[in-house]
Amino acid sequence: MAKAAGSAGTGRGSGPVPPSGGQRMGARRFLRESWAELRKVQWPTRDQVAQGTLVVGVVTAVFAAYVSAVDQVAVRLVKQLNHLLG
């Protein structure tokens, strides 16, 4: 089966596109375009950030409790095995 023109593996169009005219982008232009992109971002509200932080905290606490419980069980099992075999 033949590959279509411009498909992956042809070696064309796979690299980064240079700025127009082959010139390097100046720092001012870069900062101006970056600032313009940042203005387009829909930033979360304070309430959304607080809710997300709370969710991460709760999930982290639950996971830490689970890992701690599994660790305690493993420690007890190893101690009993050492007592029986040692």
Q: What is the pLDDT of residue 46?
A: 98
Distance CA 64, CA 56 (A): 12
pLDDT at 20 over 90: no
**pLDDT tens, residue by residue, 32-84:** 999 999 999 999 999 999 999 999 999 999 999 999 999 999 999 999 999 99
Band of residue 7 on the pLDDT scale cut at 50, 70, 90: low
Domain layout of the chain by residue ranges = 58-86
Band of residue 9 on the pLDDT scale cut at 50, 70, 90: low
Nearest 10 degrees: CA dihedral of 56, 42, 24, 9?
A: 70
